[in-house]
């Protein structure tokens, strides 16, 4: 400590912030075990009824749907984001590089709500995609994108894309290009060199990106709320619908606690599953 005289100055604000988070979490926890009193803002006595109410099939289904949507979003974001990240790192032409960078980063400058409203215009029955397909005669009736899991995942992929690409690009930038050149000089074609050298070496970025995209999507609210239209629900939507919109804060708190527990379980499982892959990555 004596060697770092400014450490306390820097650590104190962080410790205070952490304390505030802990207190907030404790408040949520204590609300989750309090009874809801109809017509009152004050919660009642201690109860586990909020948690037993979560055992209904509806809630189990929403929790499972949430995990499934997070998985789909993370996977699709990886598939779409990897080529973009690869191009961002490997393209030599500065104009092309700038175009890729702008394409990737611009969504970060728009709020989630704005981006989601844009997707409503694109995905609606009279939206861009359906209008084009109808005019080209590819379809006779509009395809239902809105209020479906598919539509929600498309919009969530767009929302999550910048984070995934940035994390993948960081991992790809750290790979020594000589490895790929060495593979090619030993007779491997570009595809084989990529699959056997670059892809495994970028595994830490893939794992970090997928994990972050998963956790990022888990807390999504505006996108499933607006694109899902109440037909596709995630945990955060349930918290809003059943807790806040009806002033049942204890039940909302129990949903939050259950959601948090589920996130921890799923992320731990993801980490365990990714452990063998992590060993491939380091170089």
Partner 1 sequence: MKRLLIAFFALALGFPAQAQDKLVVSIWGGSWRDLVAETVAKKFTQETGVPVEFITGGTIDRLNKAKLTKDNPESDITFTTSHVGWLYANDGLFEKLDLAKIPNAKNLADEARISPFHLGSWAYIYTIGYRADLLKGVKFESWNDLWNPALKGKLAAPDFDPSHIIVVSAILSGGDAAHWEKGQDKLKALKPNFKAFYTNDANSQQLLATGETPVQVVLSMNAYYMIGQGVPITVVIPKEGGVLGVDTVAIMKGSKKAELGYKFINALYDPVVQAEIAKLKKGSPAVLNAKLDPEIAKLPGVFTTAAQWKKQINIDAKLRAEKTAEWRKWFAENIMN
The correct pick among 126, 178, 191, 282 for binding partner 1 (CB under 8 A) is 126
The correct pick among 5, 13, 39, 137 for binding partner 1 (CB under 8 A) is 39
- Binding of residue 233 to partner 1 (CB under 8 A): yes
The correct pick among 7, 46, 52, 61 for binding partner 1 (CB under 8 A) is 61
The correct pick among 26, 48, 245, 265 for binding partner 1 (CB under 8 A) is 245
- Binding of residue 134 to partner 1 (CB under 8 A): no
The correct pick among 76, 78, 89, 146 for binding partner 1 (CB under 8 A) is 146
Does residue 197 contact residue 88 with C-beta atoms inside 8 Å? no
- Binding of residue 241 to partner 1 (CB under 8 A): yes
The correct pick among 2, 13, 14, 41 for binding partner 1 (CB under 8 A) is 41
Q: What is the DSSP string of 90-146?
A: H---HHHHHHHHHHHHHHHHS-HHHHHHHHHHHHSTTSHHHHHHHHTTS-SS----T
- Binding of residue 30 to partner 1 (CB under 8 A): no
Number of H helices, E strands in the chain: 14, 0
- Binding of residue 264 to partner 1 (CB under 8 A): no
Give the sign of the dihedral formed by CA 69, CA 70, CA 73, CA 75.
negative
The correct pick among 238, 253, 266, 274 for binding partner 1 (CB under 8 A) is 238
**Measured CA distances, 51 to 27, 32, 108, 144, 254 (Å):** 16, 8, 36, 35, 6
- Binding of residue 140 to partner 1 (CB under 8 A): no
- Binding of residue 153 to partner 1 (CB under 8 A): no
Distance of closest approach, residue 243 Cβ to partner 1, in angstroms = 9
- Binding of residue 256 to partner 1 (CB under 8 A): no
The phi and psi torsions of 148 (rounded to 5 degrees) equal: -125, 160
Q: Using the minimum distance from each CB to partner 1, give the nearer residue, 61 or 275.
A: 61
Q: What is the DSSP string of 176-217?
A: -HHHHHHHHHTT--HHHHIIIIIHHHTHHHHHHHHHHHHHHH
- Binding of residue 13 to partner 1 (CB under 8 A): no
């Amino acid at each position: 400590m004596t060697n770092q005289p400014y450490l306390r100055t820097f650590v104190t604000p962080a410790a205070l912030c952490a304390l505030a988070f802990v207190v907030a979490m404790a408040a949520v926890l204590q609300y989750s075990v309090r009874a809801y009193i109809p017509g009152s803002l004050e919660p009642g006595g201690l109860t586990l009824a909020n948690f037993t109410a979560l055992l209904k099939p509806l809630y189990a289904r929403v929790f499972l749907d949430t995990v499934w949507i997070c998985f789909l979003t993370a996977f699709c974001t990886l598939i779409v984001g990897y080529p973009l990240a690869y191009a961002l790192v490997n393209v030599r032409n500065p104009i092309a590089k700038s175009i890729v960078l702008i394409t990737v980063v611009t969504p970060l400058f728009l709020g989630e709500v704005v981006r989601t409203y844009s997707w409503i215009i694109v995905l609606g029955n009279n939206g861009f995609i359906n209008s084009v397909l109808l005019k080209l005669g590819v379809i006779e009736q509009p395809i239902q994108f809105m209020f479906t899991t598919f539509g929600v995942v498309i919009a969530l992929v767009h929302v999550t894309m910048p984070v995934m690409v940035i994390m993948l690009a960081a991992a790809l930038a750290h790979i020594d290009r000589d490895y790929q050149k060495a593979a090619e000089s030993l007779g491997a074609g570009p595809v084989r060199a990529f699959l056997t050298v670059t892809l495994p070496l970028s595994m830490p970025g893939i794992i970090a990106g997928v994990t972050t995209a998963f956790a990022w999507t888990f807390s999504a609210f505006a996108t499933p709320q607006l694109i899902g239209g109440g037909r596709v629900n995630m945990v955060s939507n349930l918290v809003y619908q059943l807790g806040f919109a009806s002033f049942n804060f204890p039940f909302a708190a129990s949903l939050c606690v259950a959601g948090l527990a589920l996130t921890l379980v799923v992320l731990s499982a993801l980490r365990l599953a990714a452990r063998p892959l992590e060993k491939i990555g380091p170089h």
